[in-house]
Amino acid sequence: MEPIVNEASSTSSKPKEKSYSGYVITGTLAGVVFGIHLIAGPFITPALRRICLPFVPATEEQVENVFRALKGRKGKFVDLGSGDGRLVREAAKRNFTAHGVEMNIWLVLYSKFKTYRQGLSSKATYSRTDLWKHSLKQYDNIVIFGVQNMMKELEKKIIAECKEDVRVVACRFPLPNIEPEAEIGSDVNTVWLYKIPKT
C-alpha cells in the first residue's frame, strides 16, 4: 500500500520554520540596534542640540589649572557639563562641596560609581540635568568647560543668577565680555578666572 502523503501539511511546515528563524533574527537585530541606540544615543544627541557640547574630558593639566585658579577658595562648587566627573571628584578631594550637572545618563552613572568607589559620595554629587535649566544661585565656584558659541549666553545666565563673590573658571574658551582676574596655563589647557560684577 502506498503511504499517504499529506501535501498540505508537508509544504506548510517549511515556511513556518523559516518565519520562526526570521523572527529570531529580526528580534536579535532589533535588540542590537536598540542596545546601540541606548548606549550611544546620549553621546550622539549633543550634536543635534542647538548648542553642541560634546564629551571631551579635561586634561590633567587643565584640572590642575582649574584648582590653581581656585586656590584659597571654599564652599559650593559646580561643574556645568561634568562629563565623567573628574573635576567634581577633584573638587571634593580639595574639600569643596561639589556637584556635577550632566545630561548624559551614562556619564552620570559612571561618575556616581567612581565617586562611590573613591569614598567621596558625601562631598560629590551629580544630577542628570540640563545646565541651562540649573539654577546657579547657590554656588560659590562655577566651572565650565564649554564651546565657544555657548559662552555669550552662559555669561548672561551667570550674571543673572550667581551670588556675590562667586568665582567662575572657564576652561579653553573665555567669557566674551568680562575681564578675567587671572589667566592660567597655555594653549588648550588655558583657564580664565572671573569675579562676576553684580548689577
Ligand X SMILES: C[S@@+](CC[C@H](N)C(=O)[O-])C[C@H]1O[C@@H](n2cnc3c(N)ncnc32)[C@H](O)[C@@H]1O
Which residues are at the interface with ligand X (CB under 6 A)?
46, 53, 55-58, 79, 81-83, 86-87, 101-104, 107, 130-132, 145
- According to DSSP, the β-strands at 124-128 and 97-102 are parallel
Looking up cell 528563524, which residue turns up?
Answer: 21
Give min distance, CB of 100 to ligand X, in A.
Answer: 8
Q: Measured from the CB atom, is 58 or 196 closer to ligand X?
A: 58
Q: Measured from the CB atom, is 150 or 196 closer to ligand X?
A: 150
Residue 112, H or E segment: helix 105-117
Q: Are 43 and 55 in contact (CB under 8 A)?
A: yes
Give min distance, CB of 81 to ligand X, in A.
Answer: 2
Give min distance, CB of 191 to ligand X, in A.
Answer: 10
Sequence-ordered list of residues with C-beta below 8 angstroms from that of 3, at least 6 positions apart, any chain: none
How many helices (H) and strands (E) are present in the chain, helices listed first? 5, 7
Q: Measured from the CB atom, is 92 or 107 closer to ligand X?
A: 107
Taking CB positions, which residue lies at the least distance from ligand X?
81
Looking up cell 559620595, which residue turns up?
Answer: 121
Q: Measured from the CB atom, is 53 or 124 closer to ligand X?
A: 53
